[in-house]
Amino acid sequence: MEKSSKNSRMTKMAANFKTWFNQRWGLALMSLVFAVLVWNLVITEANPQRQLTIAAVPVSIQGMDKLTNQGLTVKGQTGASSETVTLKVEMARSEMLRSTNTDVTAYLDLSGINAPGTYDAPVKAVSSRGTVSSISPQTMKIVVEELGSKLVAVKTNLVGELAQGMWHSDPALSSNQIRISGAQSEVSLVDHAQVSVDVTQMSGQASATCEFEFLDADGKLLDASAFQSEVPNCVVRMDVYPEKVMTVSADEFLISTLKDGYEVSSIAIYPSELHLVGYQEKLDAVQKLQLTPMSVQGADTDQTFTAKVQLPEGVISLEGEELVVIVRIAPKVIDTVYENAAVEVRNVPSGLKVGGTVAAVNVTLEAEQNFSRLFHVGKLALFVDATGLEAGTHTLTIKTDITGGMDEVKRVIIEPASITVRLDRK
């Protein structure tokens, strides 16, 4: 009974609302529209639209792939313009507070260009936080040329200085040559590429990643942004170590004895100095260079050897580890002294004679040992020459004459070197 009464009241209320709505539906619709407008006004006043000016926006280039496929490119550009634009963006105040230059993008669309020439390309821009209302400048002049390509050598430009006493190896490059592309008129100017490496702080097995620079035939730097290369950069590797210079001596590394009567007259080593490099503690341990032994057993002529330098691990010789050693071998030279040797006066002029006694002298003969053993004083003649002299006393220089030649005699020392001779008339 109670449930039936409740349902009856609900039905009556629904009927009353339907009657009211049918009589006043226009007023309800107007109320709804008014509510929406009021809400929109509230929102607009709370977060109104503002205009934000963004300067120095970089301009990218779109459509380069299409140009490249047609064998074309933009002169002086490889995907980004060097110019910038100023944008005005309409956005809500709340967005303005969070906006940065990264929220806007400006670009040139070159997809419609299909031939070389000079164009006024329109600048387009978008913003992720609002609507771009103004672009300044609106166009940019570009020059489209045929695409050129060239294979160029990569050189190294070392800058800075190593500390004193340091050495570096020749630079090893990850790319010794690269292919570049760009506008034909600009590519034709490129003579070579280079990478600049600062060696000031380098040590050990050093490496550096370097950007490419491009130079013309006169060594003038060109604008690198005008070119694309097949690799973005170059890795340069060098060994940088302390250096130590040492003189090579081979005397103590000659073993065995020469033929009797012979001796080592000199030793020539090529190179005579070695430049050693390695870690400092390794170099400090090298106090003397060790060579492989060289045998001169029974030798009586010059000998040539290839000797190897024995270096500790971690030390290298810039000249290599093999040396040429030339051992010059000659007969031994000994001194033989002859005392009170007589001096002969030769070529006495006619009508004159030697007066008095001619003084004796001492003679030292420096000669090869084997020659000295067989030599006897009778083969040595000492004389003075009286040719053209007149009667009287004369001081004359003593001369020598050795029977059998002077090849084996290195030097004759006569003491005194001159004597006094008196010539009398007959």
Q: What is the CATH number of the domain that holds 75?
A: 2.170.120.30
Check residue 360 and report its DSSP letter: P
Check residue 214 and report its DSSP letter: E
Same domain, 154 and 130: no
Q: What is the pLDDT of residue 33?
A: 61
Neighbours of 81 (CB within 10 A): 21
Mark which of 137, 165, 181 sits at the end of a domain.
137
Distance CA 323, CA 305 (A): 8
Same domain, 237 and 185: yes
Distance CA 398, CA 384 (A): 5
Give me the domain span that covers residue 264: 248-331
Same domain, 342 and 312: no
Are residues 362 and 337 in contact, defined by beta-carbon separation less than 8 angstroms? yes
**Can you tell me which residue has the tokens 């997809």?**
111
Torsions phi, psi for 160 (to 5 deg): 80, 180
Same domain, 192 and 178: yes
Q: What is the pLDDT of residue 396?
A: 94
Q: Which residues pair with 150 in a beta bridge?
A: 180
Q: What is the pLDDT of residue 1?
A: 46
Indicate the Cα dihedral angle 221, 222, 223, 226, nearest 10°.
Answer: -150
Specify the DSSP element, H or E, that contains 287.
none
Residue ranges of the chain with per-residue pLDDT less than 70:
1-47, 77-82, 371-378, 403-406
Smallest CA-to-CA distance from 85 within 121, 128, 42 is with: 121
State the total domains in the chain.
Answer: 4
Q: Where are the beta strands (DSSP E) in 160-302?
A: 166-168, 172-173, 177-183, 192-198, 204-211, 213-215, 221-222, 227-229, 233-247, 254-255, 262-270, 273-278, 290-291, 294-295
Same domain, 273 and 317: yes
Q: What is the pLDDT of residue 377?
A: 63
Smallest CA-to-CA distance from 412 within 328, 333, 357 is with: 333
* 13 domain-assigned: no
Distance CA 147, CA 145 (A): 6
Are residues 315 and 278 in contact, defined by beta-carbon separation less than 8 angstroms? yes
Q: Which residues pair with 132 in a beta bridge?
A: 89
